[in-house]
Amino acid sequence: MAGSKLDPIDRHILAELQADGRMTNVELARRVGISAPPCLRRVRTLEEDGLIRGYHADIDPRALGFEVEVFAMVGLSSQAEADLRAFEERCLAWPLVRECHMLNGEIDFILKCVAPDLSSFHSFLIGELTAAENVASVRTSLVIRAAKTEPAIPFDVLEARHAELD
């Protein structure tokens, strides 16, 4: 089910679950204006189609002792597809790497990393990231503070777009 094929009820379900993934199906059905059984069927379809990838708690890393957040810009020696995939596989295995995005432009990947302290991040940087096969360069930027961290998609923008198209 492509995003453009979703009806207003499906989009409303996604917006409500994005805001509160812990609500019961009965509450979700009430909020979107349908009965519980069809609501549950729609949610299951949205899950099966990959539009709902999971349900997660938003945990404060600093409250658990992860005081350091760093963005690492990585340049590779080779951009052959096999080399790009190999680097992505390495990133999946590194616990300090929380996000890995392949980019178009001067750098090949940007990694969002967390660590308990600078010493831990430095050990990872020297011992694993810069030592990894095919890594030609790494530039890092330490996060001082975050002005916005919004993991959700802006449903108001999506709804405005659909209103323009209708």
| Range 7-57 classified under CATH 1.10.10.10 | yes
- Residue 134: CB atoms within 10 Å: 18
Give me the residue spans of the domains in the chain: 7-57, 62-142
Mean pLDDT of 141-164: 88
pLDDT reported for residue 158: 82
Question: Which pLDDT tens digit goes with each residue over 3-36?
Answer: 558 899 999 999 999 999 999 999 999 999 999 9
Question: Which pLDDT tens digit goes with each residue over 24-74?
Answer: 999 999 999 999 999 999 999 999 999 999 998 889 999 999 999 999 999
Distance CA 112, CA 98 (A): 6
Mean pLDDT of 95-103: 98
Asked if residue 2 has pLDDT above 60, the reply is no
Instruction: Tell me the CATH number for domain 62-142.
Output: 3.30.70.920
